[in-house]
Amino acid sequence: LWSIFDCLVTDCNPSTYAHNHSHCDFGFYPNAGPNFYRNTDSETNTNRFAASYFHASPHSDTKFAQVSARVRNAIVRIETPVGSGSGTIINSAGEILTNNHVVSGYSNVNVLINDAVTVPGVVVGFHELIDVAIVNVGYRPLTFMPLSTRRPIIGEEITTIGYPRVDLVGIQGGSTLTRGIVSAIRVVAGQTFIQTDAAINPGNSGGAAIDRDGNCIGIPTAKFLEADNFGLLVPGFDVSNLVQQL
């Protein structure tokens, strides 16, 4: 899969990267052809379809902003010696859901919480094929956002939250929010994904995609480099039981 899609962390563990046909963590299509390659740059998404099809009222925009502000501190930045990604605090016990390719090869990571404090985190479980992992931190108190099991409706509006790679985009600051829609629900090589046109940039892997009520419906994981506004989310409804077992 990752020879088709950028895994959004860019600096993966070199040994893992080389072992899996020059892509991150696992490869369903190692010989996909010359048009499929990894991305090293950020990407801007104008969301033209979302803007024309969903003309939100000022009231709904205000609600969305309020919901995003409420859950934003549940999103963290995860750093390893070779790169960085994002994660979502999913419970009060300090468990953080992220992508496996963000932490692959490392048992200990650094976690930036509330854009203010960096604490040590321990990788306590992962599933390489589904590309999910759990990191635990001892820091308290925490803002958390449980993973939703609701299957989103195609066409509904969502927001993605994550930490773009500052060394790639050339700016400093906290997490960023981008808006889009659920474009489709697709099965790729036997795995279910939510397709979205919300902008997903390097470093956003492991963050959250939330609906208008602030429910985490998926994990930003990859984007298709040869098409505009084509990102993939690992769906909460598909992996919630797995996450509880990690």
Q: Active-site residue numbers? A: 101, 131, 205
Of the candidates 170, 216, 163, which has an alpha carbon nearest to the alpha carbon of residue 194? 216
